[in-house]
Amino acid sequence: MVGLVPTIPVFLFHVQVVDARHRAEHDAAEIRTETMLEIRNLVVKIADEDKQIINGLNLTVNDGEVAAIMGPNGSGKSTLSYVIAGKEDYEVLDGEILLNGENVLEMEADARAAAGIFLAFQYPLEIPGVATMTFLKAAMNAQRKARGEAELLTPDFIKRVNSAADALSIDKAMLRRPLNVGFSGGEKKRMEILQMALLSPSMCILDETDSGLDIDALRIVAEGVNALRDKSRGFLVITHYQRLLEHIVPDTVHVMSKGRIVKTGGKELALELEKSGYAAYAEAA
Amino acid sequence: MAAVQETIDQVKSIDVTEYKYGFVTEIEMDKPAKGLTEDTVRYISARKNEPEWMLEWRLDAFRRWKTMTEPAWSRVQYPPIDYQDIYYYAAPKKGADPKSLDEVDPAILETYKKLGIPLREQEILAGVAPENRVAVDAVFDSVSVVTTFKKELAEAGVIFCSISDAIQEHPELVRKYLATVVPVTDNYFATLNCAVFTDGSFVYIPKGVRCPMELSTYFRINEQNTGQFERTLIIADEGSYVSYLEGCTAPKRDENQLHAAVVELIALDDAEIKYSTVQNWYPGDAEGKGGIYNFVTKRGDCRGKNSKISWTQVETGSAITWKYPSCILRGDGSRGEFYSIAVSNGAQQVDSGTKMIHLGKNTTSKIIAKGIAAGKSDSTYRGMVSAHRKATGARNFTNCDSLLIGDQCGAHTIPYIEAKTATAIFEHEATTSKIGEDQLFYCQQRGLSAEDAVALIVNGFVKEVLQQLPMEFAVEAQKLITISLEGSVG
Amino acid sequence: MAIVTPLKTAAEQALSQQFANVKAELPGTLPVRKLREDAFAGFEAKGLPHRRLESWRYTDLRGLLREAKPLATAASVTPAITARLAALPFDGVRLVLVDGAFRPELSTLEGLPDGVSVQPLTEALVSTREDLARILSGPSIADSDTGLMLNTALMRDGVFVEITEGTELAAPIAIVSLVSGEEETAIFHRSVVLAAKGVKATIVEVSESAGPKASQINGAIVFETGDESDVQHLRLVTRQVPETVQVQSLLATVGAHAKFESFALVCKAATLRQQYFVKYAGEHSEIGLRGVNLLGGAEHSDVTLVMDHAVPHGVSRELFKNIIGGEATGVFQGKVIVRPHAQKTDGGMKSNTLLLNDGASMFNKPELEIFADDVVCGHGATVAQMDGEQLFYLMARGLPQPQAEALVLQAFAGEAVEFVADEDLRAFVMAEIRAWLSQREASSVVSTV
């Protein structure tokens, strides 16, 4: 399923390499900015219902770009993040999602993860009985295997986890506890960023990462994200409030309403929204 | 954590989709005619050279058995068993009653080797630290072929031998304790076992002795049309401790075979017995053809004060499992535990659970049962917790959870909770659920395949029980669970 | 396997004789007669329920009914009956049964709200409605119960209430079943409530004894509720003579997008077996069965229920709170069945018991029988004593122990009572519970554990 050949000739002039890191090496030699994520005319409905959530959405995130999507509740922001990551509860009626020029819509969620997509969940799941360390190692090695890389040796793995955990002020004891079970909201979010750091994806999507965080936790999480900013990595930061964008300063701000992007601008657009609210855009949609 | 990770690693390297212990050993066997009469009982007793009291005891059980009817209260269903169409005794011809390993038929040694159970002590010793040694009693169809490390154990005063040998060499202990936990007429299958049991293990740990190594029995059914009637008796005298493991396999055959065992444990004052089972009898094929009927009576008697008996079972095999390892908490301050994982797939039927009978004062019990049903299987937890009037201060905690995979299987919970003393505190909780779609998606988003994600979540589900097993067994058990569930995720 | 034909007990023989004597005069059309005959044949084959029958494991009716009392005949209205009726607080429609026979002269029939019709069961049984036998039978999970079979065979009277589509009742309908208690008799009654689509109604069922003699009561109530209906049922079994042996069956078939809630208060009920057979006939419905059992002396209260999730998207909740003192015995047997295809079922069942002193017993058997995989089901059962720390806290604030205990117990029972939707009825139930507790308090009984 991973080797699907892209069939869109228009984008053929972009270099298509599945592995983000290999691609990054190629890019290093070039100056020109390339498109990391391209969403074209996406139409999505909930699988078992007639409810259409995304209505012809177009969006581009370039290498090294931090794009924010803001929008009122119910505008389809979270749905968009799930559809990019490959959740099965939705049906894509039209459009394409291209990662480095390759359409990912036919891929399973795990193949998309191996291809470089990472979704930091708004509500990270609890998995009772499975120690966090166990989970991290399983995930890292599954992705390495999918990319044809050798599995990590345990000492190497532990070293990486420890340094990433230190950077995010994550207590080592937490790593021995079952994944997310009994973690506070802030701990869960930090754990998401830890996984992001360890899996080093090329396209990071943060779904309402600021929800449920106090100001200190927000700062730690934002620093974690900022440390990962890189010219070979794209970010899509989904948020309702401008607050998060003070800490993760975006290059671009998109306003989403009724399942499509209704306005695009620079970081000042976020401040504007904070003042005027979303009401005007609800009409624009 | 190590065990879980190991398993994920190991499971990946295994591509067995079928029962891997299903081979048959070609070996010449000594068998009486099929069927069950007084003569069969006499034959078995004579072959084992048993004293007169033992024969009389068997005959008495046989006469009682004839008046009994097969129980029908469980949820399992099977065609009537023709008790006259079974061989009740099958022993390897060559080297019957071996005095040493050299007299044992090499084909049998080879069989155990194939099963991963080396019987030559030098092979066992290679690379194993003394504290990690495991003594093995190997039971092949109706007879115990060898028991390892007998000498080392004897130095510590521990008796570990086949029950046949124990009847010859320690009749006083056998007579004192046999059938004192599971009475002769306890139930249909137990009574049948009394009449025709052929072999099994006997363990006696003397006062104050901590058994220097793990003891284990490995049961193998090999012959066609043969029932296995094992009998195990373990006595832990005052202040002693023993950990005992049991494993079982059988060849793949189209017909059903009966395994009706009786296991009795006795813990005297301050003694502790830890009994672990990894049951992997041939489960039959996906349509339910063949497989072992595992009708087993296991019961422990915490006879002494502050004694403790702990059952841990991982049940992945057998066409039908009918098994309730129980604890009678007679001694004041005694403690009973039951940890169980029952995995069923294909057409398997499981009706299993435990009984915790609180009789003494301040007795405690704990039940953790995890059932995983997949395919077209049917899994029932049946358990009883009861506190008698004089069992003041009785405490129980029960947790039984079921996980369903697929929409063709069934999972049932039937607990009986009976408090006849007002000082009892009983807590019972049960849940049934399926693996959450959201959990699966989360794991897949991090790059795990659907199968790996299920294995990971299932391991998390059963972890609390696996932790009760000795390390080597835990790894083995985890592999088994994953293999048993292979192909169950669409 | 050998079929064992048990010897018939004196009571079983007497019941056979009674049925032979009265079957010709019992009301019923041909289909009803057939129903009676089949039910009695079923009873004769199995006999009175006994402890070896799994569903009657803890209530040995065969042992409890040493003899079958004579069938009740028309009773006269004693002053005690009049007094009890006067004391009942329920306004609105009141339907009164005395010794199982409907008494229009004691009932309030004038001013029945629009959309409600009431018939004595005797009349309904001889009516020509074609679905009568089906309605009377209730869900199939009840078919094999011998306690109910006896009721089917011998039911004489009761009320047949029909509520038409869309009717929303402001006040409850009370079905009051009084035992005259002048003679020792056997009473068999059954009532039916048909609530059509969109009906909102509350049905109160009262079972009490007015006189001094103990009876054998076998009652049943059948509910059939339509789509989008909301039916609340409150049962009060509160004033029975010791030695009374009572079986109360509730059969319910619930439509789609509907709510059905039943709450039972049991105190001073002598020996009582309540059995519930409830089935989901449509999707997206919520059913709740709850109750409080206050037991003392030699009382025995058995709650046995079967919840049949036959369709997807059903939500069920059961919660029973038991407070047991004296030499009393509580029983809870709950079985939640989730049939194949009944996906997205959400079931939760709980039984919580406080034992007040040695001699009190509680038997729990909460079962799950699940054949669908996409479900969330759970059950919990606890048996314990009152929380010593809570008591200590209250006593440290100056409350005497009996009073402190009453407070703790009231809070414990209250967790189930809060599900009684009607505010007045909820207050009435709490008042009854407080009365029971203050009686206990007055006799200065304190828990001994």
Chain C residues with beta carbon closer than 8 angstroms to that of B429 = 378-380
Q: Searching chain C, which residue's CA lies closest to the CA of residue B409?
A: C371
CB contact under 8 A, C370 and B420: no
* B431 in contact with chain A, both atoms CB, cutoff 8 A: no
Q: Give the span between the Cα atoms of B401 and B411, in whole angstroms.
A: 10
pLDDT at B2 over 50: no
Q: Searching chain B, which residue's CA lies closest to the CA of residue C379?
A: B430
> SS3 for chain C, per residue?
CCCCCCCCCHHHHHHHHHHHHHCCCCCCCHHHHHHHHHHHHHHHHHCCCCCCCHHHCCCCHHHHCCCCCCECCCCCCCHHHHHHHHHCCCCCCEEEEECCEECHHHCECCCCCCCEEEEEHHHHHCCCCCCHHHHHHCCHHHCCCHHHHHHHHHCCECEEEEECCCCECCCCEEEEEEECCCCCCEEEEEEEEEECCCCEEEEEEEEEECCCCCCEEEEEEEEEECCCCEEEEEEEEEECCCCCEEEEEEEEEECCCCEEEEEEEEECCCEEEEEEEEEECCCCCEEEEEEEEEECCCCEEEEEEEEEECCCCCEEEEEEEEEECCCCEEEEEEEEEECCCCCCCEEEEEEEEEECCCCCEEEEEEEEEECCCCCEEEEEEEEECCCHHHHHHHHHCCCCHHHHHHHHHHHHHHHHHCCCCCHHHHHHHHHHHHHHHHHHHHCCCCCCC
Q: Is B226 helix (H, G, I), strand (E, B) or coil?
A: strand
CB contact under 8 A, A130 and B438: no
| Number of neighbouring beta carbons within 10 Å of residue B461 | 23
Q: State mean pLDDT over B39-66.
A: 92
Structure confidence by residue, pLDDT tens digits, B412-440: 999 999 999 999 999 999 988 888 788 88
* B467 in contact with chain A, both atoms CB, cutoff 8 A: no
Helix intervals (H) in B389-487: 437-445, 450-466, 471-484
pLDDT at B187 over 70: yes
Chain B residues with beta carbon closer than 8 angstroms to that of A206 = none
Q: Closest CB to C368: pick one of B409, B422, B432.
A: B432
CB contact under 8 A, A110 and B4: no
How close is the nearest chain C Cα to the Cα of B413, in Å? 5
pLDDT at B97 over 70: no
How close is the nearest chain B Cα to the Cα of C319, in Å? 14
CB contact under 8 A, B456 and A131: no
Q: Give the span between the Cα atoms of B197 and B58, in whole angstroms.
A: 9
What pLDDT does residue B96 have? Answer: 57
Model's pTM, two decimal places?
Answer: 0.83
Q: Closest CB to C355: pick one of B413, B422, B431.
A: B422
Optimal mutation site among B395, B432, B433, B438, interface C, most CBs of chain C within 10 A: B432
Q: Which chains have 3 or more CB–CB distances shorter than 8 Å to chain C? A: B
Q: What percent of chain B has pLDDT over 90?
A: 46
CA separation, residue A151 to residues A12, A116, A140, C371 (Å): 33, 17, 8, 41
The conformation of residue A4, written as its DSSP 8-state character, comes to P
CB contact under 8 A, B424 and C365: no
Q: Give the span between the Cα atoms of A283 and C445, in whole angstroms.
A: 71
* A142 in contact with chain B, both atoms CB, cutoff 8 A: yes
Token pair of C352 as six digits: 């919580």
φ/ψ region of A116 (left if φ > 0, alpha if ψ in -120 to 50, else beta) reads left
What pLDDT does residue B235 have? Answer: 97
pLDDT at B216 over 60: yes
Of B289, B294, B405, B278, the C-alpha closest to B347 is B289
What pLDDT does residue A24 have? Answer: 44
Q: State mean pLDDT over B1-30.
A: 54
How close is the nearest chain B Cα to the Cα of C415, in Å? 18
CB contact under 8 A, C372 and B407: yes
List, as ranges, residues 2-41 from B with C-beta within 8 Å of A. 4-5, 8
CB contact under 8 A, B72 and C448: no
* B424 in contact with chain A, both atoms CB, cutoff 8 A: no
CB contact under 8 A, B423 and C380: no
* C312 in contact with chain B, both atoms CB, cutoff 8 A: no
* A183 in contact with chain B, both atoms CB, cutoff 8 A: no
CB contact under 8 A, B447 and A128: no
Q: Give the span between the Cα atoms of C293 and C269, in whole angstroms.
A: 9
Optimal mutation site among B10, B431, B442, B489, interface A, most CBs of chain A within 10 A: B442
How far out from the chain centre does Cα B25 lie?
Answer: 23
What pLDDT does residue C381 have? Answer: 93
List, as ranges, residues 333-352 from C with C-beta within 8 Å of B. 340-341, 343
CB contact under 8 A, A139 and B446: yes
What pLDDT does residue A206 have? Answer: 94
Q: Closest CB to B446: pick one of A89, A133, A199.
A: A199
Q: Closest CB to B414: pick one of C340, C367, C449.
A: C367
Helix intervals (H) in B138-279: 150-155, 163-169, 171-177, 188-196
* A109 in contact with chain B, both atoms CB, cutoff 8 A: yes
SS3 content of chain A, % helix, strand, coil (to 5): 40, 25, 35
The sign of the dihedral angle between the CA atoms of C73, C78, C81, C82 is positive
Q: Closest CB to A110: pick one of B447, B462, B463.
A: B447
What pLDDT does residue B414 have? Answer: 93
Token pair of B452 as six digits: 């790996």
* C3 in contact with chain B, both atoms CB, cutoff 8 A: no
CB contact under 8 A, A113 and B445: yes
* B489 in contact with chain A, both atoms CB, cutoff 8 A: no
Q: Give the span between the Cα atoms of B289 and B299, in whole angstroms.
A: 30
How close is the nearest chain B Cα to the Cα of A193, in Å? 12
Token pair of B133 as six digits: 């040694």
Confidence of residue B122 (pLDDT cuts 50, 70, 90): low
Q: Which chains have 3 or more CB–CB distances shorter than 8 Å to chain A? A: B
The sign of the dihedral angle between the CA atoms of B442, B448, B454, B460 is negative
What pLDDT does residue B94 have? Answer: 65
Helices B188-196 and B38-47 pack at an angle, to 10 degrees, of 50
Q: Give the span between the Cα atoms of C279 and C309, in whole angstroms.
A: 6
What pLDDT does residue B99 have? Answer: 66
Of B333, B325, B353, the C-alpha closest to B272 is B333
Q: Give the span between the Cα atoms of B392 and B156, in whole angstroms.
A: 38
Contact of chains A and C by CB distance (3 or more pairs under 8 angstroms): no
Residues 6+ apart with CB under 8 A from C9: C47, C48, C62, C65, C66
Structure confidence by residue, pLDDT tens digits, B356-415: 999 999 999 999 999 999 888 999 999 999 999 999 999 999 999 999 888 888 999 999
CB contact under 8 A, B445 and A85: yes
Q: What are phi and psi of B12, to 5 degrees?
A: -60, -35
Q: Is B447 helix (H, G, I), strand (E, B) or coil?
A: coil
Host H or E run for residue B43: helix B38-47
Q: Are A100 and A144 in contact (CB under 8 A)?
A: no
Q: Give the span between the Cα atoms of B116 and B139, in whole angstroms.
A: 15
CB contact under 8 A, B460 and A88: no
| Pair type for strands C376-384 and B425-434 | antiparallel
Low-confidence ranges of chain C (pLDDT < 50): 1-3
How far out from the chain centre does Cα A210 lie?
Answer: 14
Q: Give the span between the Cα atoms of B52 and B61, in whole angstroms.
A: 14
How far out from the chain centre does Cα A143 lie?
Answer: 16
Report the complex ipTM. 0.86
CB contact under 8 A, B419 and C362: yes
Q: Searching chain B, which residue's CA lies closest to the CA of residue A125?
A: B439
- Residue of B40 and B127 predicted with greater confidence: B40
Q: Closest CB to B442: pick one of A121, A133, A178.
A: A121
Q: What are phi and psi of C73, to 5 degrees?
A: -120, 180
CB contact under 8 A, A135 and B446: yes
Q: Which chains have 3 or more CB–CB distances shorter than 8 Å to chain B? A: A, C
CB contact under 8 A, B415 and C381: yes
* C298 in contact with chain B, both atoms CB, cutoff 8 A: no
| Number of neighbouring beta carbons within 10 Å of residue B130 | 9
Q: Give the span between the Cα atoms of C191 and C206, in whole angstroms.
A: 12
How close is the nearest chain B Cα to the Cα of A189, in Å? 14
Q: Classify burial at B431, counting beta carbons within 10 Å of its beta carbon; exposed 0-12, middle 13-18, buried 19 or more.
A: middle
Chain B residues with beta carbon closer than 8 angstroms to that of C357 = 422
Q: What is the pLDDT along chain A (285 residues), one digit of tens a residue?
A: 333 333 333 333 333 333 444 444 444 444 446 889 999 999 999 887 888 999 999 999 999 999 999 988 888 999 999 999 988 889 999 999 999 989 999 988 888 988 999 999 998 888 887 888 888 888 888 888 888 888 888 888 999 999 999 988 888 888 988 888 888 888 899 999 999 999 889 999 999 988 878 888 888 889 989 999 998 999 999 998 888 899 999 999 999 999 999 999 998 998 888 888 887 776 544
How close is the nearest chain B Cα to the Cα of A196, in Å? 9
What pLDDT does residue B301 have? Answer: 97
Q: Is B44 helix (H, G, I), strand (E, B) or coil?
A: helix
